[in-house]
Amino acid sequence: MSLIITAAVTGGEYVSRVESPYVPRTVDEVVEEVLRSVEAGASVVHLHAKNPENGEAYSGDPNPVLREYVKAIREKVDVVINVTTGGGRVGNPPEVWDRLVKEKCGLGQEMMSLNMGTINRWAEHPTGEVFLNTVPMIERWAGYMRDAGIKPEHEVYDTGMINTCHALVQKKIMREPLHIQFVMVGRTGFLPNIKALTYSLDQIPPTWTWSVCALGRNEIPMCNAAMLLGGHVRVGFEDNVFLRKGEYAKSNADLVRKVANIAKELERPVADPSEARKILGLKKP
Ligand code: KMH
Ligand code: ZN
């Protein structure tokens, strides 16, 4: 199967100019990073809203910024757009998160992250120690995505969350095949190693598609493991800002190119956006 490379280009909630001078801030910089990443082999881009002043996580309603990203990207390049459900949590109660996620389903993207459980924070974060994703929240948000025709990327941080994925199918909230992202954050979640990954793969049916992301120096080794085991990969500044020890990636495209080159050596063809849509069962928007 061709390899889907997702580029998580924006730096997400944790990574900004503090971690690397190359993290994009403005809409134009984010779009430029998307264009470079697609050119290098990414067929999916994962987006968080960033504050254009400093590249930090956007503190208000993230949806207007995300809408600008989606519009500008659609005007310039064909790529599968995967928008985070994150953002807008700090200082707001869960009812507001809920409304923001519902509204976020109308931005014109094909995919969205759906975090499959509550987990202690794996890095310092202004919302405190817990990344709260209760089962009722997950079920509601899955329903919003299903009703909007958006395919969730089920973010699984630990093995118990795989059971929650199965429960969504059993309760007929989601239809198979699901697409899983094994988010191997270490510390409070999966250790980024092959044993944890192969155990997890034993828990999902072969019809589901899956991808791996891991943080920092674990990113490329775990992408290698995923490629060998027949999965897909995610790279980018959200997870890692270094191309190799002591050397910043100057663009997300450097990281995309690195895994695309390894895929070539492994004789794993790199999917273009239309192949990625076929693999993931998506319609072109
Ligand atoms: N930042 C990653 C560790 C999301 O955006 O909802 C997980 C992630 C989830 O990408
Ligand atoms: Zn994310």
Contact 279, 209 (CB under 8 A): yes
The pLDDT tens digits of the residues spanning 191-240 come to 999 999 999 999 999 999 999 999 999 999 999 999 999 999 999 999 99
Q: At residue 55, does pLDDT exceed 90? A: no
Q: Is 240 in the pocket of ligand 1 (CB under 6 A)?
A: no
Q: Is 10 in the pocket of ligand 1 (CB under 6 A)?
A: no
For the chain, the farthest-separated pair of C-alpha atoms sits apart, in whole angstroms, at: 48
Q: At residue 128, does pLDDT exceed 80? A: no
Contact 120, 143 (CB under 8 A): no
Q: Decide which of 53 and 190 is more confident.
A: 190
Q: At residue 126, does pLDDT exceed 80? A: no
Q: Is 115 in the pocket of ligand 1 (CB under 6 A)?
A: yes
Q: Is 185 in the pocket of ligand 1 (CB under 6 A)?
A: yes
Q: At residue 156, does pLDDT exceed 80? A: yes
How high is the pLDDT of residue 94? 93
Query: Best substitution site from 155, 184, 190, 234 to test ligand 1's pocket, by max atoms within 8 Å of Cβ?
Result: 155
Question: Angle between the 252-265 and 27-40 helix axes, to the nearest 10 degrees?
Answer: 10
Distance from chain centroid for Cα 185: 13
Query: Best substitution site from 58, 84, 111 to test ligand 1's pocket, by max atoms within 8 Å of Cβ?
Result: 84
How high is the pLDDT of residue 75? 98
Mean predicted confidence (pLDDT) in 111-138: 92
How high is the pLDDT of residue 129? 75
Using the 8-state DSSP alphabet, how is residue 2 labeled?
Answer: P
Calculate ∠ Cα 9-15-16, nearest 5°: 90
Count of C-beta atoms within a 10 Å radius of residue 253: 25
CA 133 – ligand 2 centroid, Å: 14
Please tell me the distance from the alpha carbon of residue 103 to that of residue 178, in angstroms, as a whole number: 23
Please enumerate, as own/partner, the contacts of 94-99 that have beta carbons within 8 Å and a separation of 24 or more: 94/132, 94/137, 97/137, 98/137, 98/140, 98/141
The atom number, within ligand 1, closest to the CA of 14 reads 1
The pLDDT tens digits of the residues spanning 11-52 come to 998 899 999 999 999 999 999 999 999 999 999 999 999 999
What global pTM score does this model have? 0.98
Q: Is 88 in the pocket of ligand 1 (CB under 6 A)?
A: no
The pLDDT tens digits of the residues spanning 163-188 come to 999 999 999 999 999 999 999 999 99
Q: Is 133 in the pocket of ligand 1 (CB under 6 A)?
A: no
Phi/psi at 59 (nearest 5 deg)?
Answer: -85, -20
CA 84 – ligand 1 centroid, Å: 7
Please tell me the distance from the alpha carbon of residue 50 to that of residue 154, in angstroms, as a whole number: 22
Q: To the nearest whole number, what is the mean pLDDT of the chain?
A: 96
